[in-house]
Each structure stands twice: as C-alpha cells, then as structure tokens.
Amino acid sequence: MTALLEIDLDAIAANWRALDAMHAGQTAGVVKADAYGLGATHVAPKLLAIGCRHFFTAHLSEALTIRVLLPGAMLAVLNGILSGEAAEFSARNIVPVCGALHELAVWRAEARRRGEVLPVILHVDTGMARLGFSGPDLARLGEDATLLEGMRVDYVMTHLACADAPEDPMNARQAAAFAAAARQFPGAKTSFANSSGMFLAPEFGSDLARPGAALYGIDPSSGGGCKNPMRGVVRLSAPILQIHEVAPGETVGYGGDWTARRPSRIATLGVGYADGFHRSLGNRATAYFDATPVPLVGRVSMDLTTFDITDLRGLQPGDRLTLIDERHGPDQLAREAGTNGYEILTSLGRRYQRRYSGA
C-alpha cells in the first residue's frame, strides 16, 4: 500500500492561462527541477498544447530530457553554459542564458565552429549576486561588440530578489538597474518578472515573463494576507498501515518525543523524510480525514509517520489520510515545516505512486 500523489495538469494549465492573461507580453513556463518536482515530461507538453512557446530549465540535462517534447518552442537553460557543452546546446537548439564573459567565449567559439549566428539570452545581475553580468563586465559588453560576435541577443533578463514583498525598495532599485542595462542592447527583448513579479506594478512587465512556482499552485504573494490566486495542483494521500492503542503516559516514535495524555489511537503511514515529508514536521504537521484535521505526533522517520486518530474512531487500516490538497496545500505544509512551498514540492519523493489527470 503506497502513498498516492495526484497531479492535475488541467489546474497547471489554468494557472498558466491566468498568468498569461494578466501579462501584456508573452509568458514562459519554468519547468526546472523536473517541473518543481511534478514531472517535466508531463507538464511541458501540456503547456505547449495550450500555447506556451517559451520554456526554461536550470540545467542542460533537464533541457535535453524534454527537448524532443517541445517542437518549435524556445528552450533555454538558466544556469548558463559550461566548457564542453556547446555542441549539445547548438545541436539540440537549446539557448544558453549567459551571465559571464567566459560563457560568451564558449558560445562564441561554437558559433564560429558552426559558421552560424546562434541565439543567446543575456543575464544581468541587478542585485541577487548569484548569476549575471554586473559592473565592469556589463560595461565591457556595451563597449566591445566583438564579445557578442556570432550571437543574436534574443532577450536580456534579470531576476527579482524580493518580488514576494511588494513594498521592498529593492524591487524599484532592480527595475531601474534593469532598464538601464537593457538600453545597452536596443535590439533585444526583455524578460523580467518571475511568479511574484507578475503581481507587481506595470513597470515590472516585459516581453517575456517567467513564472515557475505559481504554475504549480504556490502562492506568489508568499502568504501575504491575500487569498492565493493560483489553483492547487497536487493531492497527496497515504493509507493507514497499522493502528496502535497507546495508554496514557506511553510514548510514540524515536526519542519518545510525544507522550499520550489519554487513551489514544495512533495511525502509522508509510511516508517519511525519504519521501520528502520533512523531518521538521514532527509534532507539527496536520493531515486530514475528510474535513477533520489529524495531528502528526512524534518524529517523522525515514519511511513512516504517526498520526493521532483518537477522535476518529471509525478509521481502520487501509483508510487514507490526506497530507496535501487544495485545503492544506504546499504553502500550509511549508509553514508547519519551517520552509517554503518550493521546497515542499521539489522534495516530493519517487516512491509515491503518481497519477496524472488532464493529460
């Protein structure tokens, strides 16, 4: 009896359509990290079928996995290009997002080898200090046209650091810095907003938005007091393996972290931190049976968790508890775990039985 992870591709499609409708430019689909843990080989074709024509992964290996599934679509790699990868990029029509002079040198040599003009996306660092051109290197790009020989700059992009906090002054600083940088490349289109950035002011619009987490039901406002505008897309449930009668004063699980204060019925589920159900959820998480909340008691172990079902007398082994759904989504589970919804989704394990709807 395994846990079941249900993934609603129609809900993902509805989220993309909603985001696309609110954006004046085009809207990409970010399918990195295996589409945030939900299966890029299922998600990417669904997005293509409803009109998405621009896709981003983090690594070349991710792009190679889905390239054949996206005929005619732009497919770009956010983490750039390494020495030795250029031939695969060009042969498979994958666009590198370059944010350093040494990356441009790799791509420039490949253009020279092929005798072709190759597309490139330039990543400008406007405050994240992770990837992207900044300072002297950005100035050099504006001054020395030979650095871009053999390349066609399709987009100039940056990445917002604080878009989930609309009042943070860093948003305005990044917008100003990006506008100045983009002026150096007058023939190129721009790509600016991530999921949260799409909910900021109009000046954060661009030719190509790059939503990721919002496609998969994560709240783009980071739970900032507003109702999540995105539809939930996953449901995780697991059957009860065993039920134990625990007397007052007896403990449950490793370390005896939970002690029964009354005669209790404890249900064991076959889900643990090896499945991405975080160890930090011990004594904090909530499951549901129908509309009734069921508290997790004791520690989360590698393969098992224990829940107090004392107030649900009718439950038997084989009955299922729901761990994630529309009511108790990744963001809610993340708050219990002390993390964010991104980590919840991308941690989802490979031992779950996966069922896709809307394919």
| Nearest-10 crossing angle of helices 9-21, 40-49 | 50
228 found inside a domain: no
Q: Which of 185, 216, 247 is the last residue of a domain?
A: 216
Return the percentage of the chain with pLDDT > 70, whole number.
98
Q: Is residue 51 included in any domain, yes or no?
A: yes
Asked whether residue 245 falls in the same domain as residue 340, the answer is: yes
The single residue listed with the structure tokens 């991530």 is 194
Query: How far from each other are the two terminal CA atoms of the chain, in whole angstroms?
Result: 25
Alpha-carbon distance of 92 to 85, in angstroms, equals: 11
DSSP secondary structure code for residue 218 in this structure: -
| 30 and 61, same domain (yes or no) | yes
Q: Which residues contact 36 (CB under 8 A, 6 or more apart)?
A: 212, 213, 215, 216, 218, 342, 345, 346
172 and 241 in a common domain: no
The per-residue pLDDT of the chain, averaged, comes to 96
* β-pair partners for 120: 153
Within this chain, do residues 185 and 43 fall inside the same structural domain, yes or no? yes
Q: Are 319 and 289 in contact (CB under 8 A)?
A: yes
Edge-first strand order for the sheet with 54-57 is 26-27, 208-209, 189-191, 151-157, 118-123, 95-98, 74-77, 54-57, 29-30
State the Cα–Cα distance between residues 350 and 352, nearest whole angstrom: 6
Q: Could you tell me if 146 and 197 lie in one domain?
A: yes
Vertex 295: Cα angle to 294 and 296 (nearest 5): 125
Question: Is the per-residue pLDDT at 147 higher than 60?
Answer: yes
Tell me: do 240 and 165 sit in the same domain.
no
Report if residue 99 sits inside a domain.
Answer: yes
**pLDDT score recorded for residue 123:** 98
Q: How many domains is the chain built from? A: 2
Same-domain check for residues 72 and 144: yes
pLDDT at 227: 83
Let me know if residue 165 belongs to a domain.
yes
Confidence of residue 200 (pLDDT cuts 50, 70, 90): very high
Among candidate residues 56, 131, 77, the one with its CA nearest the CA of residue 100: 131
Cα–Cα distance measured from residue 207 to residue 191, given in angstroms and rounded to the nearest whole number: 6
Per-residue burial over 223-234, b = 16 or more CB atoms within 10 Å of its CB, e = otherwise: eeeeebebbbbb
* C-beta of residue 30 within 8 angstroms of C-beta of residue 15: no
Q: Is 227 tagged catalytic?
A: no
- Residue 3 located in a structural domain: no
Asked if 181 and 264 sit in the same domain, the reply is: no
- Judge whether 223 lies within some domain: no
Asked whether the predicted pLDDT for residue 23 surpasses 80, the reply is: yes
Residue 256 lies in a domain: yes
Same domain, 121 and 174: yes
Domain boundary among 216, 251, 284: 216
Mean pLDDT in residue range 54-82: 98
278 vs 201 pLDDT, higher one = 278
The whole-angstrom separation of Cα 222 and Cα 330 is 11
Among residues 163, 186, 216, which one ends one of the domains? 216
76-111 pLDDT tens trace: 999 999 999 999 999 999 999 999 999 999 999 999
Identify whether 36 is a catalytic site residue: no
> Is residue 323's pLDDT more than 60?
yes
pLDDT at 221 over 90: no
Whether residue 106 lies inside any domain: the answer is yes
| Four-residue CA torsion sign, 321, 326, 330, 336 | negative
174 and 296 assigned to the same domain: no
Containing 118, the helix (H) or strand (E) segment is strand 118-123
| Phi, psi angles (nearest 5°) of residue 21 | -65, -25
Domain span at residue 46 reads: 9-216
Residue 288's DSSP bridge partners are 293, 322
The mean pLDDT of 199-214, rounded to a whole number, is 95
Residue 140 sits in the same domain as residue 278? no
What mean pLDDT is predicted for residues 265-277? Answer: 98
**Cα 148 from Cα 146, distance rounded (Å):** 5
CATH code of the domain covering residue 208? 3.20.20.10
Check 216, 254, 288, 352 and give the catalytic one: 254
Say how far residue 331 (Cα) sits from the centre of its chain.
12
Same-domain status, 170 and 307? no
Catalytic entry in 32, 36, 216, 342: 32
Sign of CA dihedral 341, 345, 351, 357: positive
CATH number at residue 333: 2.40.37.10
Instruction: Specify the DSSP class assigned to residue 199.
Output: G
- Give residues with Cβ within 8 angstroms of 341, minimum separation 6: 213, 217, 218, 219, 329, 330, 331, 333, 334
pLDDT of residue 222: 56
